[in-house]
Structure 1
C-alpha cells in the first residue's frame, strides 16, 4: 500500500468516523458495505477489518456522549456485561457461516430496522426522556440479544439497541445512542479478537481507517447533539436503508 492509498483510507476513515459519532454506531455499519463494494472484501473479512476502526471509535464516542449527557453507570454495565457474554457466541458462529448467506442476512436485518425507524418518524411517537420507562435490570435482556447480533454481524448490536431504547424504554434518540455505545464497547472488542484469530482482518487497510475515524468522530457527536430529535431519527433510518442498498449491490 503506497502513501496515496494510505491518505485516501485516512479520508475514508474520517468520513466513516463522523457518521459513527452522529449515529452512535462507531462507523462500522457503513464501513462494512463500503469495504465490500470498494475493496471487494467478503463479508467476514469486511466485518473484521471494519471492527479495527469501530472499537476505538466506539470508546471515544462513548466518552464524548458521556461528557455531553451523563450515562448511568448501572445502565452501561448491565448492557455491556450481557452483550459481552453473548457476543462471544455470535462471533464464534459468524466465522463459520457462509459469507454470502451472512451478507444476505445482514441486508435483511438493515432493511427491517430502517423500515421500523421510518415508521417511528412519521407516526409521531411520544417524546422520549432521560429516564427509563422500565426498571434498569430489563436492560440485561436487550444487552443479551443485541450482543448476539453484534457478534454475528460485527455492528448489529448497537444498531438494534438504539430503536429499542427509544421505543420500549422511552429514551431520547441521543440518550439511546449513548447507551448503545456502552453496549457495543465490550462486545465489539471480543468480536474483533475472534475475527482476528481466524484471520478475518486486513490490518494494512484497517489501521488508516481507524486513525481517520478517531480524528473525526467527535465532530459527529457534536452534530448529533445539535440536531432536532425527529430529524436525527429520520437521518438514522435513511442511513440504515442506504447501507442496506450498498451491501445489496454485493449480494
Structure 2
C-alpha cells in the first residue's frame, strides 16, 4: 500500500511538472499512462486523471496570474461557457463505448498537433500583445473547449491554447494563462460528473494529485524561461507522444 502511494505520487510529480510547463494540468499525459501501464479503461483513466488535474490547474492558474496578469474581461466568457458545456461533454462521455472515446481522443490530439505544427512552421514568428477578437468570440471558444474537455477529460485547455495563439493572436504565455482560467471550472464539473458515475479511482488519483502539487510551480517557471517557438515545439511533441500512447492502448 505504501509502495503504491509512493509510485503514484512520483508519477504525479512528473505529470505535474509537464502540466505546469504546457498549462494543461498534467491530465492529458496521465490518461494514456493510466490506460496503457495501469490497465484502466478510457473513462476510468479520464476520471482518475481529473483528480490530479483539478488542483494542478488551480495552482498553475495562480502562478501564471502572478507572473502575467490574466485579463479577466477575456477570461470570464471562457470560464462561464466552458463550465456549462463541460458538463454536457462529460455526460456524453460516460455513456459512450470506451473504444469510441479512445480513438476519438487519438484523432483529437493528432488534429491539434497538426494545427500547431502548421502555425509553428507556416508563419513568421511575432510577439502579439493582445487578442484580435472581442468577448463574444471568447464565449464561443469556451463552449467548444468545454465540450471537448468534458468529453475527453482534459479541461479544454488543449483546444483553447492553440486557437488563442493562432486565431485570436495572443502570445503562447497569454494563451496558456487564459486556458488555465477556462480549465479551472470545467475540470471541476467534469470530475464531479465522472465521480457520480463511479468512473474515478481515488486511491490512485489522490497521491498523483499530491505529487503534482509539488512540481507544477517548477513547470510554470520553466515555461516562462523558454523562447516562444521552443515552447510551442515542445507542446507539439508532447501531444504526439500522448496520441501514440493512446493508439497503442487502443
Q: Which interval holds the TM-score relative to the shorter structure? A: over 0.9
Instruction: Pick closer, same or farther for the CA change 1:151–1:125 going to 2, 3 Å.
Output: farther
Which residue matches 1:141?
140
C-alpha distance in structure 2 between counterparts of 1:32 and 1:25, whole Å: 13
Count of aligned pairs: 250
| In 2, Cα distance between equivalents of 1:230 and 1:73 | 26
Q: Which residue of structure 2 aligns with residue 188 of structure 1? A: 187
| Contact map agreement 1:9 1:208 (CA 8 A) in 2 | yes
| Alpha-carbon distance, 1:77 to partner | 1.3
Please name the residue that 1:237 is paired with: 236
Secondary structure, in 3 states, of the residue corresponding to 2:129? coil
What's 1:37 paired with? 36
Distance in 1 between the 2:126 and 2:155 partners? 25
1:63-104 Cα shifts (integer Å, max 9, x gaps): 100001000111121110000011111011010000011000
> Aligned partners of 1:103, 1:145: CA distance in 2, in Å?
19
Distance in 2 between residues matched to 1:10 and 1:143, nearest whole Å? 32
Where structure 1 has 5 or more consecutive residues not aligned to the other structure, the ranges are none
Quote the offset at 1:126 in angstroms.
Answer: 4.5
* Aligned-residue RMSD, C-alpha: 0.9
Post-superposition Cα deviations, 1:35-59, rounded to whole Å, max 9, x if no partner, equal 0011000000000000000000000
The runs of 5 or more residues in structure 2 that have no matched partner are none
Shift of 1:128: 3.8
- Kindly indicate whether the alpha-carbon contact (under 8 Å) linking 1:128 and 1:166 is maintained by their aligned counterparts in 2: no
After superposition, what is the alpha-carbon deviation per residue over 1:191-220, rounded to whole angstroms, capped at 9, x for unaligned? 000000000000000000000001100000
Q: Mark the CA change 1:212 to 1:201 in structure 2 (over 3 Å): closer, same or farther.
A: same
Q: Match for residue 90 of structure 2?
A: 91
Contact preservation (8 Å) 2:155, 2:184: no
**Which runs of 4 or more aligned residues in structure 1 lie more than 3 Å from their structure 2 counterparts after TM superposition?**
none
Other-structure match for 1:67: 66
Counterpart mapping for 1:119-198 below 5 A: 119-155=118-154, 157-198=156-197
Supply the distance in 2 between the matched residues of 1:148 and 1:228 (Cα, whole angstroms).
31
Distance 1:125 1:148, change over 3 A: farther
C-alpha distance in 1 between matches for 2:127 and 2:40 = 39
8 Å Cα contact 2:31-2:49 kept in structure 1: yes
Structure 1's 156 and 192: CA in aligned 2 closer, same or farther, altered over 3 A?
Answer: closer
